[in-house]
Amino acid sequence: MRRELDSLVTQMHSSGMRYEDAVRDFKRQYLREVLIAHRGNQCKAAEELGMHRNTLSRAMAELDLDLAEVRAGLKRPPRSERPLYSAVRPVYRQG
């Protein structure tokens, strides 16, 4: 992972990306990943990040990170697109 990060930093620097933009992009993507991992639950995400929920909410606003955008990718597909599972349950006999 360290090599991947080093490579990414090198690419960002060689492309002329400003420090502020690089930090902003990193923060935005990192917060987005943690929110996705917690299915959009800000309280759980904030706890994992070691910050207060209000601080996370403020950071999301500063980074233009919309919770609806995060949750949109987490919604279940319509019933017509869900895989079918067998409705047959095993029957256990007594005796």
Over the chain, what is the mean pLDDT? Answer: 86
Instruction: Report the distance separating Cα 25 and Cα 65, nearest Å.
Output: 11
pLDDT in tens, 54-92: 999 999 999 999 988 888 876 666 677 666 665 556 666
Name residue 61's amino acid: A
> Distance of CA 61 to CAs 38, 64, 82, Å?
18, 5, 34
pLDDT over 60 (residue 20): yes
Instruction: Report the distance separating Cα 56 and Cα 13, nearest Å.
Output: 28
